[in-house]
Amino acid sequence: MELGDRTIARDYERYGAHPEERDGRAGWRFRVWAPQARSVSVVGEFNGWDPSATPMERKDQDWEAFVPGLAQYDTYKYAVVGQGGQEVWKSDPYAFHAETRPGTASKLYDLSGYQWRDGRWKPRELYDRPLNIYEVHLGSWRRREDGAFYDYRSLAEELSTYVSGMGYTHVELLPVTEHPLDDSWGYQCTGYFAPTSRFGTPHDFMYFVDCMHRRGIGVILDWVPAHFCKDEQGLYEFDGSCCYEYADPNKREHAGWGTRVFDYGKREVREFLLSSAAFWLREYHIDGLRVDAVASMLYLDYDRPDGAWTPNHYGGKENLEAIDFLRDLNRTAFAVNPRVLMVAEESTAWPLVTYPPEEGGLGFNLKWNMGWMNDMCHYLKLDPYFRQHHHRDLTFSMMYAFSENYILPVSHDEVVHMKGSLVGKMPGDYRTQLQCLRGFYAYMMAHPGKKLMFMGAELGQWHEWDAGSALDWYLLDHTENQQTQQFFRDMNHFYLHQSPLWEVDRDWAGFEWLVADDNQNNVAVFLRRDKAGREVVCAVNFSPNTYENYRFGVNDKARYREIFNTDDPAYGGSGVSNETAIAVEQVPSHGKPQSIAIRIPPFGAVFFRGEARRGSKRSSSLQGKERKGMV
């Protein structure tokens, strides 16, 4: 895997603990930023955790020490005395490895020596290629029979085989940066340079990424520069003062989350975060970062009542320092890896999130489409009779679908905190819910935008996600769940092989409504088109009715042939299908002079490919490939 600029954002080489030789003695050099500290010392097993044994020397705002005779995996902390005289013991902000909770000390670790084997891995082009992400929490994808975690290396082998076979292109990992509390899922971390030791060592995590790449799977990390936890050993009031966080009480804390906010106005804090981002891309060959809680960074009044936030110097609510930081973050990421995926979880209508900084944008290349997700979750929960009054939930997303480069996310956030599982959002009995799940997923795969689905949906998971246990793999003992998993596998591979579904995702040239306004029948019909003009028609029925001879206007072809159907009996469906090619008739419909009449299954989706009339320039051999879904 080739990377770009190897010189920028390398503070992790200056700070932290690194093996070094001085005056012929092998040891470790420690360096930490603590500008307001009265004194700092290194404490660890090697000196009996004695704060007076190994004092550090002040160098401007940093503190440094060299300690000979130490070994990899030795534990240590910094004993920091603030200006008020209070001593706190802190983990190393730049540590590469850490004790496993409940331990909170850092561990010495030399990152060098791992032999990467992903040299043939080349990140895919983003915009005109398929992108289908499987979101994973490593601690609960699978567990050992005794409830213990899988390690990175076991996960690498099993997860890469599974994801590749299921037809996903990437995995996105809930944060693996070191964190003290399992229940935080990693979103309140203490180690911005340390993959969590819950699953193994740094070299083990390198193996995980390496294995994914060798199986053709990209790796995206959730990364959290918006806030950090208040655990005593972490960044919280690191030198006895507000060091990494804002000093202004109106900017310092997210009370609802119980966390502190990074001070983006401090050069050292910005360099710490930029260095962390570059570190994962460079040292661990990570393909992308999904930046969590971007909205909380952009707005000074985010989740704060009137009078409890400080305006910027123009009197506005925009956090100008955070905006500058996000632009610098994306510049840094693209300098390290020009094909990086920089994804914003931004839940508001902030403009130009995926536009370059030079054009006034934030510089991301992808944004989660939270509006689409909220509309669809609302729609899917409705009794089918009442869906006719909420048809805009299906269609409104196309009003802004090309304003940004979007990912359609159905993430972990939608299946926790009493929200139920994805299949559990659907109406009816379990068989009906599985029908609805198949129809929705097909609609999602056909809608413009890249895709993300949280683990477990493909099993027809009954329960909402529980981070403390494995997915309900036992469901695969049942035929209906095996069929659901097979549907997801086939739908994903169908998506991968149908260029009209992903090649033109960013403008109207790749999409056309055929039926947008049939709210009474809960039906939407549209087509997707690739750069060569090849089209796939998608008809989705969100009602329990089977529609015979459902007519709609189409473009001028000889006939249309069904190429995928969510109601296939192989998936547990009832078998409502279009077994023979459907001739185009010169019957006007929906503003077109010709039309077809099809069968649409209940709660199902059907895909069609048009076949050209004789004498067209498209060869019969190409038509044959189209019928097989190969192009």
Domains of the chain, CATH where assigned: 11-107 (2.60.40.10), 132-222+265-305+324-500 (3.20.20.80), 503-627 (2.60.40.1180)
Which one is predicted more confidently, 118 or 615?
118
Name every residue whose Cβ is closer than 8 Å to that of residue 516 and which is 6 or more positions away in sequence: 395, 398, 524, 526
The first and second tokens of residue 292, run together, are: 């969590």
How far, in whole angstroms, is CA 563 from its chain's centroid?
30
- Across 355-373, average pLDDT: 97
Question: pLDDT confidence of 616, banded at 50, 70, 90?
Answer: low
In the DSSP assignment, the letter for residue 149 is: B
Q: By percentage, how much of the chain surpasses pLDDT 90?
A: 93
Q: What is the pLDDT of residues 215-269, one digit of tens each?
A: 999 999 999 999 999 999 999 999 999 999 999 999 999 999 999 999 999 999 9
Q: By percentage, how much of the chain surpasses pLDDT 70?
A: 97
Q: What is the pLDDT of residues 74-104, one digit of tens each?
A: 999 999 999 999 999 999 999 999 999 999 9
Q: Which amino acid is at 471?
A: L
**Closest Cα partner for 168 from 176, 155, 177, 159?**
159
Backbone φ, ψ for residue 426 (5° rounding)? -80, 155
Given strand 228-229, what is the order of strands in its sheet?
A: 228-229, 259-260, 253-254
Q: What is the pLDDT of residues 444-477, one digit of tens each?
A: 999 999 999 999 999 999 999 999 999 999 999 9
**Catalytic pick among 74, 204, 292, 518:** 292
First to last CA, the chain: 29
Three-class SS state of 484: helix
The predicted pLDDT at position 209 comes to 98
Give the pairing type, strands 97-98 and 106-107. Answer: antiparallel
Residues 553/590, Cβ–Cβ less than 8 Å: yes
The predicted pLDDT at position 126 comes to 87
Size (the chain), residues: 631
Task: State yes or no: is 239 an active-site residue.
Answer: no
Residues 494/564, Cβ–Cβ less than 8 Å: yes
- Across 312-335, average pLDDT: 97
- Across 412-419, average pLDDT: 90
Question: pLDDT confidence of 479, banded at 50, 70, 90?
Answer: very high
Compute the distance between CA of residue 158 and CA of residue 412 in angstroms, rounded to an integer. Answer: 21
The predicted pLDDT at position 612 comes to 87
Q: What is the pLDDT of residues 485-508, one digit of tens each?
A: 999 999 999 999 999 999 999 999
Compute the distance between CA of residue 296 and CA of residue 501 in angstroms, rounded to an integer. Answer: 33
**In the predicted structure, residue 72 carries a pLDDT above the cut 80:** yes
**In the predicted structure, residue 625 carries a pLDDT above the cut 50:** no
Q: How far is CA 59 from CA 34, 62, 85, 142, 223, in A?
A: 10, 5, 20, 47, 31
The predicted pLDDT at position 96 comes to 98
Q: What is the pLDDT of residues 521-541, one digit of tens each?
A: 999 999 999 999 999 999 999
Task: State yes or no: is 292 an active-site residue.
Answer: yes
Three-class SS state of 46: helix
Compute the distance between CA of residue 216 and CA of residue 556 in angstroms, rounded to an integer. Answer: 39
Question: The tokens 């005056």 sit on which residue?
Answer: 23
Q: How far is CA 398 from CA 371, 522, 527, in A?
A: 11, 17, 13
**Closest Cα partner for 491 from 553, 540, 424, 425?**
540
**Catalytic pick among 92, 328, 345, 414:** 345
The predicted pLDDT at position 505 comes to 95
